[in-house]
Amino acid sequence: MSDIPPGLETLDYTFAGQRPAGAFAPVLVGVVGSGNLEVLVEPASGTDCTVHIETSARGFGPIWDAVVRDFHRRHPLAGVRVSINDMGATPAVVGLRLDQAISELPT
């Protein structure tokens, strides 16, 4: 039997931002559904990039850690809050949705 209680798992990350995102309207991509997720990117005060994840796929913290760190390595944004609502998306789909959201930000 697993030590992980039922329900959603919550993961939070904070990265030092390197590239200010500037002013932008919140961006929402994806849909919460089986095997998919939604990503909301919002402006935030300060210079950090924060990522908040709520996922139904419990016990995958090390994989989330790798995916989120790779995202921030590719997009070292500052002043951004990323919220992810996941229903079991694969790492490839997570990366796709994150890139999709960032592509909608002003350059």
Q: What is the predicted pLDDT for the residue at 106?
A: 87
- Indicate the pLDDT class of residue 96, thresholds 50, 70 and 90: very high
pLDDT in tens, 48-60: 999 999 999 889 9
- With 80 as the cut, is the pLDDT of residue 2 above it? no
User: Which residue would you say has higher pLDDT here, 32 or 33?
Assistant: 32
Q: Decide: helix, strand or coil at residue 93.
A: helix
Statement: the pTM of the whole predicted model exceeds 0.85: yes
Reported in sequence order, the residue ranges of the chain that DSSP labels E, i.e. its strands, are 9-16, 19-20, 27-30, 37-43, 48-55, 77-78, 80-86
Q: What is the predicted pLDDT for the residue at 5?
A: 53
Q: What is the predicted pLDDT for the residue at 32?
A: 84
